[in-house]
Amino acid sequence: MLSQPFTLQLNNAISKAAVGKFDGEHASLTCATSAGKVFFGRASELAASEQLRFLNINRKISALACGVLDDKQGRDLLLVGAQTTLLAYDVRENCDLFFKDVPDGVNTLLVGRFGTLEIPLALVGGNCSIQGFDHDGGESFWTVTGDNVSAMAFCDVDGDGELELLVGSDDFEIRVFRNEEVVSETTETEKYAPPRVPPAAHPQAADGH
């Protein structure tokens, strides 16, 4: 039987959601609101809404992701895309890791490694391009796509034990990348877009945020 461990009621609708292990062990729900804020916490913290921790981005959030960018640390970082900027935030240390201008836009985010990449990257799907940033914010990957990127995922398409990057874009194409090279293309009848988080049914606030 399904159970409901907690309920949150906020002033603003939730637009993006992700789960990260910011201490390397415990899973924390992370959500972006339509007011340009990100909140995060473990289930026990979210059940008591007064313990919510908020990060003010102060602009429309276009993408959200969590993942390990430094194998030595072994814990997730928070990646926040806001139209033409990318913020990498260390939740445990409560500090910005890097902040980058991304002129091609931030439509979607994905964290990890694929192909022969030796280090994990924060992959940014934008307007006809994909950029990859390392733990220090250096651009370590770049390639072009046929149209605006709407979705990205990792998958071992050919069963060789190495992950490829699957990219959906507005030109109705799903492309498979091995490093910077397109190894497969599939045409769909319409563009793919990931499902959106529906707005809260009860928008009245349960806390002061």
Q: How confident is the model at residue 12 (pLDDT cuts 50, 70, 90)?
A: confident
Residue 16 has a pLDDT of: 93
What is the value of pTM for the model shown? 0.84
Tens digit of pLDDT for each residue in 32-54?
Answer: 999 999 988 887 666 665 567 88
Rounded CA gap, 88 and 96, in Å?
6
Tens digit of pLDDT for each residue in 70-126?
Answer: 999 999 999 999 989 999 999 999 999 999 999 999 999 999 999 999 999 999 999
| pLDDT exceeds cutoff 90 at 2 | no
Residue 199 has a pLDDT of: 46
Tens digit of pLDDT for each residue in 185-199?
Answer: 998 876 655 555 444
Residue 188 has a pLDDT of: 81
Q: How far is CA 196 from CA 43, 97, 172, in A?
A: 22, 28, 19
Domains detected in the chain: 59-187 (2.130.10.10)
| pLDDT exceeds cutoff 50 at 202 | no
Rounded CA gap, 29 and 42, in Å?
6
Average pLDDT over residues 140-155: 94
Q: How far is CA 18 from CA 61, 98, 99, 130, 188, in A?
A: 13, 20, 20, 20, 27
